[in-house]
């Protein structure tokens, strides 16, 4: 009899699982008795085992005094119990069996042959059984039927190549019953117990460390144990949690062991995806049910483990229509409906709605998108939904002017506006507001466009706000909240266009008349923007004098109160200057700026208006 056993058969158990455990333990004892005493050790590691089970174990021990009962009086979780098996076992190799599975006769002898042949770890096949242990079919862990093989895993390439052969996570040691492991070596780099790696995948973490140095892995395809299926109590109690534990656990191991993006990490993650093939995405969506916040979390995990974003998004769309009963856009004939992307819908859209419930500065930033839509779609009707103050800048567009305050406080007004956008029946909708807001989301929902683009309104503060995720339902795609405006055009597959304004015809006439009355050349007229006194005061006099010397005329513009501010700097230039002060409307100023050769001074907002009007800053001027 040798000093240490060659093999330890270990069964971790918890609570009262005596009905299964009895079977598993009997099979282990049977194997031990088939070998000379001391060759095969059997131990049960207990995690807060209940009294009836404890009595059963003691009874076993009374018959087989060499049976070792170890463990903890309280339940410390699966990971602790798994590691405890390694810590308590004394055998050269350790085989940890699920307490509802069962060793098959002769398995220890077969495993010891592989040990004699120089294995560091052994992966064995299973025979799957129903919950009553009636045999169903043998099961291997590879994509293709694979005969007995010795894998020399001596580096990242070999390991990645091995992962790529796997059909099931069990091949990557996720299934404890299927792996026999050299104990000393496993203990050399024992994974620490931490909540970070908790979640029931400690065996995979340990084996990935084990395989960081060269190892000889023996695959024995012959089923050496019975695996009881459909006995996952965790999955039965909370399928959502079960599926997510799989995803997060696998991802954490990938991050811990294969943090670098590359073939090895990808091959490891692919094992998880192969394990349930495409069913996982659908199952997760089904399990999230009506809870969109939950689904968002699940979706992030699916994408992180490398599921095809197309699959994820189409499953999401399909589920919305099928189970969530999100109606199809009403102007799409369901018989001819198909999947598309925003670029295709933008090109083909017959009607486009742009929600411009934004302030002036944001609007000015986004006018380039309107121009891109105008030039990039084929004779589509474009309707802009905007507040009253922006309407005079949007001549030529179909307008739906919405007073936001009234919308939020007057039910009938709101319903009428929602009906109006619904009746317009856009194929494409773009919401320009970075905050989106309730009004915009309601309008988007009512529009029921085939494709819809908006900004994500998520901030660290509102992430868990109730209903926020639900409100994003109408949108096909959300861009990050701080994405620059040109990304909207890119997401729609549109060529970038310059910013533009469309002042109403009256303003255009007025601007033309202003220049004609004085016989000024608009291209040689410098617009002096009067709403930022410091800018004017600092360098103003010098620059303006220089411009007038160069033959330019000066036109003072600004908001309320700027006529007096402009009076002093313009005074020296007599007939060469005109102070319009606050006399022009927003559209009037835009029309004037569209004609002026350059502009000077002004606040950031005013300069943005000038820029959108195509009026360059002084010094310089129109080419």
Tell me: does residue 483 bind another protein (CB under 8 A).
no
CA distance 491 to 475: 13
Least Å distance between CB 417 and another protein? 24
Structure tokens at 256: 């811990």
Part of the chain binding another protein (CB under 8 A), chosen from 106-114, 293-301, 324-332, 580-588: 324-332
Chain length of the chain: 623
Out of 69, 165, 343, 399, name the contact with another protein by CB under 8 A. Answer: 343
Tell me: does residue 473 bind another protein (CB under 8 A).
no
CA distance 14 to 105: 25
Least Å distance between CB 310 and another protein? 4
Q: Which residues pair with 286 in a beta bridge?
A: none
Tell me: does residue 236 bind another protein (CB under 8 A).
no
Angle separating helix axes 292-304 and 309-322, nearest 10 degrees? 160
Tell me: does residue 339 bind another protein (CB under 8 A).
yes
Q: How many residues bind another protein (CB under 8 A)?
A: 49
Angle separating helix axes 156-164 and 263-276, nearest 10 degrees? 20
Part of the chain binding another protein (CB under 8 A), chosen from 81-89, 290-298, 313-321, 608-616: 313-321
Q: How many other CB atoms are there within 10 angstroms of residue 362's CB atom?
A: 16
Least Å distance between CB 473 and another protein? 13
CA distance 126 to 43: 21
Q: Using the minimum distance from each CB to another protein, give the nearer residue, 28 or 281.
A: 281
Give residues with Cβ within 8 angstroms of 27, minimum separation 6.
102, 103, 104, 105
Tell me: does residue 374 bind another protein (CB under 8 A).
no
- Strands 40-49 and 7-15, bridge-based pairing: parallel
Q: Using the minimum distance from each CB to another protein, give the nearer residue, 307 or 520.
A: 307
Out of 323, 516, 537, 571, name the contact with another protein by CB under 8 A. Answer: 323
Least Å distance between CB 314 and another protein? 5
**Nearest one of 126, 122, 98 to 110, comparing CA atoms:** 122
Least Å distance between CB 109 and another protein? 45
- Residues numbered 413-432 forming contacts with another protein, rule: CB under 8 A: 427
Tell me: does residue 517 bind another protein (CB under 8 A).
no
Out of 476, 514, 525, 579, name the contact with another protein by CB under 8 A. Answer: 476
Tell me: does residue 242 bind another protein (CB under 8 A).
no
Out of 117, 337, 361, 537, name the contact with another protein by CB under 8 A. Answer: 337
Task: Return the DSSP state at 195.
Answer: T
- Residues numbered 489-508 forming contacts with another protein, rule: CB under 8 A: 491
Region of 118 on the Ramachandran plot (φ > 0 left; ψ -120 to 50 alpha; else beta): left
Least Å distance between CB 429 and another protein? 10
Which residue matches tokens 């195509």?
Answer: 614
Least Å distance between CB 463 and another protein? 21
Task: Give the contact letters, 281-310, x = binds to another protein (CB under 8 A), - = no.
Answer: -x-------------------------xxx
CB 570 within 8 A of CB 592: no
Tell me: does residue 213 bind another protein (CB under 8 A).
no
Which residue matches tokens 């085989």?
Answer: 95
CA distance 215 to 121: 8
Tell me: does residue 237 bind another protein (CB under 8 A).
no
CA distance 98 to 190: 20
**Nearest one of 287, 303, 296, 145 to 222, comparing CA atoms:** 145
Tell me: does residue 332 bind another protein (CB under 8 A).
yes
Task: Give the contact letters, 440-469, x = binds to another protein (CB under 8 A), - = no.
Answer: ----------xxxx----------------
Evaluated on CA atoms 389, 390, 392, 396, the torsion sign reads negative
Least Å distance between CB 474 and another protein? 11
Residue 603 burial (10 A CB sphere; 0-12, 13-18, 19+): middle
Least Å distance between CB 311 and another protein? 7
CB 216 within 8 A of CB 119: yes
CA distance 209 to 190: 8
Rg (CA), the chain: 36
Helix, strand, or coil (residue 410): coil
Least Å distance between CB 530 and another protein? 44
CB 349 within 8 A of CB 494: no
Task: Give the contact letters, 259-278, x = binds to another protein (CB under 8 A), - = no.
Answer: -------------------x
- Strands 135-139 and 121-129, bridge-based pairing: antiparallel
Tell me: does residue 340 bind another protein (CB under 8 A).
yes
Out of 335, 517, 604, 623, name the contact with another protein by CB under 8 A. Answer: 335
- Strands 93-96 and 179-182, bridge-based pairing: antiparallel
Least Å distance between CB 586 and another protein? 34
Out of 317, 438, 513, 545, name the contact with another protein by CB under 8 A. Answer: 317
Out of 342, 358, 382, 386, name the contact with another protein by CB under 8 A. Answer: 342
Part of the chain binding another protein (CB under 8 A), chosen from 44-52, 234-242, 322-330, 549-557: 322-330
Which spans of this chain sit near another protein (rule: CB under 8 A)? 278, 282, 308-315, 317-323, 325, 327-329, 332-350, 378, 427, 450-453, 476-477, 491
């Amino acid at each position: 009899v040798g000093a240490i056993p060659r093999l330890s058969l270990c069964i971790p158990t918890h609570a009262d699982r005596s009905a299964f455990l009895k079977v598993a333990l009997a099979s282990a004892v049977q194997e031990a008795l088939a070998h000379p005493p001391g060759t095969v050790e059997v131990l049960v590691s207990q995690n807060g085992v209940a009294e009836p089970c404890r009595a059963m174990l003691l009874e076993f021990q009374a018959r087989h005094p060499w049976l070792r009962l170890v463990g903890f009086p309280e339940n410390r979780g699966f990971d602790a119990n798994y590691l405890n098996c390694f810590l308590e076992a004394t055998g050269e190799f350790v085989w940890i069996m699920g307490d509802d599975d069962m060793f098959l006769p002769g398995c220890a002898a077969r495993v010891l042959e592989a040990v004699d042949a120089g294995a560091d770890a052994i992966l064995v096949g299973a025979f799957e059984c129903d919950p009553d242990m009636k045999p169903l079919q043998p099961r291997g862990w590879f994509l293709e039927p694979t005969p007995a093989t010795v894998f020399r895993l001596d580096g990242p390439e070999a390991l990645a190549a091995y992962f790529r052969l796997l059909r099931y996570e069990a091949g990557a040691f996720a299934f404890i019953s299927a792996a026999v492991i050299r104990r000393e070596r496993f203990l050399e780099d024992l994974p620490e117990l931490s909540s970070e790696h908790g979640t029931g995948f400690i065996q995979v973490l340990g084996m990935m460390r084990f395989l960081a140095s060269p190892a000889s892995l023996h695959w024995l395809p012959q089923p050496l144990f019975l695996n009881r299926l459909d006995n996952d109590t965790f999955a039965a109690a909370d399928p959502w949690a079960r599926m997510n534990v799989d995803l997060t656990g696998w991802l954490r191991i990938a991050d811990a062991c294969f943090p670098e993006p590359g073939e090895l990490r990808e091959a490891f993650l692919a094992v998880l995806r192969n394990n349930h093939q495409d069913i996982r995405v659908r199952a997760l969506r089904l399990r999230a049910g009506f809870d969109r916040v939950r689904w968002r979390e699940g979706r992030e995990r699916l994408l992180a483990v490398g599921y095809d974003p197309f699959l994820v998004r189409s499953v999401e769309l399909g589920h919305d229509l099928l189970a969530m009963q999100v109606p199809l856009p009403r102007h799409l004939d369901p018989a001819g409906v198909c999947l598309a992307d925003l670029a295709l819908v933008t090109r083909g859209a017959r009607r486009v709605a742009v929600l411009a419930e934004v302030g002036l500065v944001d609007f000015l930033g986004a006018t380039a998108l309107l121009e891109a839509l105008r030039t990039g779609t084929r004779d589509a009707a474009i309707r802009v939904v905007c507040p009253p103050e922006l309407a005079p800048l949007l001549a030529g567009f179909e307008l739906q002017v919405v007073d936001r305050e009234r919308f939020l406080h007057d039910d009938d007004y709101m319903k009428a506006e929602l009906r109006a956008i619904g009746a317009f029946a856009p194929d494409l909708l773009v919401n320009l507001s970075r905050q989106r807001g309730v009004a915009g989301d309601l309008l988007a929902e009512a529009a029921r466009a085939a494709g819809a683009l908006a900004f994500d309104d998520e901030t660290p503060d509102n992430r868990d706000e109730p209903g926020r995720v639900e409100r994003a339902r109408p949108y096909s795609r959300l861009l990050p909240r701080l994405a620059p405006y040109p990304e909207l055009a890119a997401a729609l597959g549109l060529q970038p266009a310059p910013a533009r304004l469309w002042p109403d015809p009256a303003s255009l006439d007025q601007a033309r008349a202003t220049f004609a009355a004085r016989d000024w050349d608009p291209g040689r007229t410098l617009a002096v923007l009067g709403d930022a006194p410091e800018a004017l005061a600092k360098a103003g006099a010098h620059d303006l004098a220089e411009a007038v010397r160069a033959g330019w005329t000066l036109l003072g513009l600004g908001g309320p109160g700027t006529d007096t501010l402009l009076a002093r700097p313009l005074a020296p230039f007599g007939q060469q200057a005109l102070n319009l002060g606050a006399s022009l409307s927003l559209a009037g100023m835009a029309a004037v700026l569209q004609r002026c050769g350059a502009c000077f001074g002004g606040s950031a907002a005013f300069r943005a208006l000038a820029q959108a009007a195509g009026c360059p800053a002084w010094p310089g001027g129109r080419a």
